[in-house]
Chains A and B, each alone.
Chain A
Amino acid sequence: MQVIMVDQRKCTGCHQCELWCGSEIASESKEIPFSFFDDPQPVPRVFVEGKPFALQCRHCPDAPCVEACPNGSMTRDENGLVYVNETTCIACWMCVMACPFGVINPSSSLKVAIKCDRCRNMGYPICVEICPTNALQLVEREMPKTLSSKG
């Protein structure tokens, strides 16, 4: 499967990916200037961290959040993308506790776990699309021979 990789030399920390992720995915308004007035506020699923580096869900082949979710709301689609079924999520934050990357956002306003689903319903990840320096790219994941994807 493919994963989003960031070329750290190119990532300037401009936070465009966070902004677009929040408005494209979570905002009712879908346009950045208007999304500022949304209530609850849109929440991004990508986080510009560290020495700037855009990090989002890694869609682990063996995902601890999926194992921890007590009702199957955190699940994996046929393409290997891990996503939250927001209608059944009970906001118990067990997935938050299990995520080794700390990229699941326990949204107390929306009362659901918010994470990157690689824009699975749009077909292309908006963060990769808009990154002004091309620092974000979709690349094929290298899988070690011994590890088969399960789940």
Chain B
Amino acid sequence: MRYVIIGGSAAAIRAVEAIRSVDRRSPIDLFSDEPTPLFSRVLLPYYVAEELPKKLLNFRPLTFFEDQEVTSHLGVRITAIDPESRTVTADNGQNFDYDRLLIATGGSPIIPPIPGVEKKGIFPLKTMQDAENIYGSKGKRAVVIGAGSIGVESCISLKRKGMDVTLVEQLGRVLPTVFDDRASAIIRKRMEDLGIKVNTGERAVQFQGNGAVSSMSTEQRDINCDLVVLSIGVNPNVELARAAGLEIGELGGIAVNDRMRTSAAGIFAAGDVVETKDIALDKKSINAIWPCAVEQGYAAGLNMTGKKVLYPGSLRMNSIGNFIGQPAISIGMVSAPTETGGAEAGEAYQEVTRSSKDTYRKLILKGSRIVGATLVGDTQKAGILGVLIKKQIEVGEFVPLLMSHKLNFMEILPLIRRHSDKFSEPEYKELMDTGL
């Protein structure tokens, strides 16, 4: 068996580990057009903020390829896949044969067609090079466009570097796809307390400057700046797959089956480049987050070796860690669909909330199942809610306990036992057998 892997990040590296857990011998060739291997993108804002030195950005040791006996081709881009002859072509002209191929090409930042966007000093934050560009910027006044996770973290990074920071978001709140109005307001307050100017409901329309950016206009105002970070979102890198005739899904990600296989024999895909069924939303979604990329890479890798492993679907989850100084976690659905928002007939959604001055907790129920959870402040037990969402458990009369600060695993053991068919892993079974 010959394995070829395109990409060298979360999904790709985890797939290598999965393959090697079964098959120590077969050759694996891994291609990454980024020259720096094995760093975690999630850490780039910490690097920009000077919280982490470069050598601590790795998520696997630098000896990884050697240890796993992988031939790595770093700084090499794959330009074509031929599913007929089962070969890939690299930008250095070489061809490589494969029996099993993994496409883990991730996503690319969206560069909005705003006049002046090509000026110097305007960067996305995705690659190590982007991080270096921002890190090395001598700017004093920064504008961040887009208040998603990367945008918000960029603001904190730049503030920590001592810059004057303004965030511009066209929707009405920060982290619009992660938090509801209430939770978002708490994060916004925290950002403003740190001295970040937050402008929501405002659209960037033009960049000015002679070569380098010197100001940005929104529909409301002009903001002087010498550094701009674009964090509008990412698009899956599907060009290779599309050109090879692979099926692309309705959302623009590579379509895969429940074993992470694409529409072509022998070709698998995982990570930010695929669309999968979202367990909480019960529809296709591109959940471009680290844990999903890792899980999908693992499932894809095992299936590539011939093992049969089902990927049950993805679940969006975001955590605002200590970086912002306000712990907050959101899993699954953000807000219950309103009538006009397209709730299907017959589905009863319910939101249960509870809040105090600095804490907020919300569950979204669909019938008797949790499909969304938000926790601000007191977050230690969030994962309990997460597993109930993931395993689609009918929680019934346990809702008050799940909402309470007394929530803990042993208190919900009767619920776990009731659904013991869905908790067959040894770590659950041994607790169920304790005779409580």
Contact = CB atoms under 8 A, between A and B. Distances in A.
A49 B411 contact: yes
Contacts of A71: 40, 42-43, 56-59
B407 A102 contact: yes
Task: State the majority secondary structure of interface residues on A.
Answer: loop
B322 A92 contact: yes
| Interface size grouping (class) on chain A | 35 or more
Contacts, number: 154
20 contacts: A50-B410, A61-B427, A67-B14, A67-B294, A68-B290, A71-B56, A90-B46, A90-B322, A90-B323, A93-B379, A96-B380, A96-B382, A97-B379, A97-B382, A98-B386, A104-B380, A106-B379, A106-B380, A108-B322, A143-B426
Contacts of A142: 426, 429-430
Contact of B430 (A70, A99, A141): A141
B410 A49 contact: yes
B425 interface: yes
Contact of B42 (A62, A92, A103): A92
Contact of A5 (B18, B291, B322, B430): B430
Interface of B: 14, 18, 21, 40, 42-43, 46, 51-52, 56-60, 290-291, 294-295, 298, 317, 319-323, 327, 329, 331, 379-384, 386-387, 407-411, 413, 424-427, 429-431, 434-436
Nearest to A67: B294
A6 interface: yes
Contacts of B290: 68, 70, 94
Nearest to A61: B426
Nearest to A100: B387
A53 B410 contact: yes
Contacts of B382: 96-97, 102
When A and B form their complex, which 8 residue pairs have the shortest distance between CB atoms, in order from nearest?
A: A50-B410, A91-B322, A92-B321, A70-B42, A100-B387, A102-B381, A99-B383, A58-B427
Contact of B409 (A62, A64, A103): A103
Contacts of B56: 71, 88
A47 B334 CA distance: 30
A100 B383 contact: yes
Given A71-B43, A93-B329, A141-B430, 16 more contacts: A8-B435, A9-B435, A49-B409, A50-B409, A68-B290, A70-B42, A71-B56, A72-B59, A90-B43, A91-B321, A92-B42, A92-B321, A98-B317, A102-B382, A102-B409, A142-B426
A41 interface: no
A78 to B, nearest CB: 14
